[in-house]
């Protein structure tokens, strides 16, 4: 996904949303704002020198964005700009790109997990553990490649300040979501079980890196954030509901607390020892379902 903050794009957005005849725009010195003074009053503040110069400052809008961000997701959640600002030299808005990918789980592993009705198969657990270690290495290699091209880059999941959080509004969450990044990049949509359905299905691992190198964005072919899910499209399915051994999935709600309590409980701790892994995952709701390896068609 491209962070489209070019001067042309910004000027167009201002013209569309601001009363340019009766307003004065105050910004930092980001170069993308340079063309705005051609059609309306524009004052700037140099944040490397000071944050307030008389009545010229951006403090009020910073407070507004903080409230807006907290209302949409949570103040804990990073935007691409948040994470990129930590490795970029310049201040103010940063142009950039999210490089996002999906790694489908092999058919052999998926077949092994279809047979399970309470715990994941050994193959699934090994994929969850060692496959994610591979994914971490891929993140590092992509970061190294982009830096070698002259850009700044960071893998949010590997950042030292990344963490899981428990938020009063959304419950269990984290500072960066690979699935949400993949959705923003047009790689798929969400599902009833809050998984992510791509053209290669819901059984996968995904990853991302944020860079200040601006690339042409991929198309985003989806009109609704859940349109790849049969139930969310109004069709008859609900197979993932039947697959959950603890009833954490319904048509109205995915109980993340119940899901985590089960998959990190004492029985799974014993399963980790048996399989020789540090984490098992579960994946029952991602296998033996219509969206396992494809975007499902309507079930007649």
pLDDT at 162 over 50: yes
Q: What is the pLDDT of residues 15-47, one digit of tens each?
A: 888 888 888 888 877 777 878 888 999 888 776
Q: In the numeric block, which tokens belong to residue 219?
A: 């198309």
Q: What is the pLDDT of residue 300?
A: 46
Write the pLDDT tens digit of every residue in 50-88.
Answer: 666 677 776 666 555 555 555 556 677 788 888 887 776
Using alpha carbons only, give the angle 121, 124, 130 rounded to the nearest 5 degrees. 135
pLDDT per position as a tens digit, 177-229: 999 899 989 999 999 999 999 999 999 999 999 999 988 888 888 888 899 99
Q: What is residue 131's predicted lDDT score, i.e. its pLDDT? A: 96
DSSP string covering 155-217: -GGGSTT--EEEETTTEEEES--HHHHHHHTTS-EE-TTS-EEBTTBS-EEEEEEEESS--PP
Report the Cα–Cα distance between both ends of the chain, in Å, rounded: 35
- What are the boundaries of each domain within the chain? 1-72, 81-286
Residue 144's pLDDT is what? 98
45, 51 Cβ separation under 8 angstroms = yes
Residue 241 backbone phi and psi in degrees, to 5: -65, -45
- Give CA torsion, residues 103, 104, 110, 113, to 10 deg: 40
């Amino acid at each position: 996904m491209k962070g489209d903050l070019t001067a042309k794009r910004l000027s167009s957005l201002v013209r569309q949303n601001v009363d340019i005849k009766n307003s004065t725009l105050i910004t930092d010195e980001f170069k993308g704002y340079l063309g705005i003074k051609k059609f309306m009053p524009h004052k700037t503040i140099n944040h490397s020198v000071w944050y307030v110069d008389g009545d010229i400052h951006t403090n009020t809008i910073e407070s507004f964005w903080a409230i807006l961000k907290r209302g949409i997701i949570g103040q804990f959640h990073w935007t691409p700009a948040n994470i990129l600002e930590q490795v970029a030299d310049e201040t103010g808005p940063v142009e950039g790109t999210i490089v996002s990918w999906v790694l489908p789980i092999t058919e052999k592993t998926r077949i092994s997990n279809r047979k399970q009705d309470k715990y994941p198969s050994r193959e699934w657990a090994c994929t969850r553990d060692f496959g994610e270690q591979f994914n971490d290495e891929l993140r590092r290699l992509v970061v190294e490649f982009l830096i070698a091209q002259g850009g700044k880059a960071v893998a949010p999941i590997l950042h030292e300040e990344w963490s899981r959080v428990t938020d009063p509004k959304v419950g269990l969450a984290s500072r960066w979501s690979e699935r949400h990044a993949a959705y923003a990049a047009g790689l798929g949509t969400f599902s009833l079980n809050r998984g992510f359905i791509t053209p290669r299905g819901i059984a996968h691992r995904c990853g991302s890196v944020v860079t200040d190198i601006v690339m042409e964005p991929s198309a985003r072919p989806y009109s609704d954030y859940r349109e790849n899910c049969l139930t969310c499209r109004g069709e008859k399915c609900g197979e993932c509901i039947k697959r959950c051994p603890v009833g954490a999935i319904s048509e109205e709600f995915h109980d993340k607390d119940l899901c985590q309590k089960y998959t990190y409980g004492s029985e799974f701790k014993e399963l980790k020892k048996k399989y020789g892994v540090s984490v098992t995952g579960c994946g029952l709701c991602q296998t033996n379902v219509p969206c396992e390896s494809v975007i499902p068609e309507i079930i007649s």
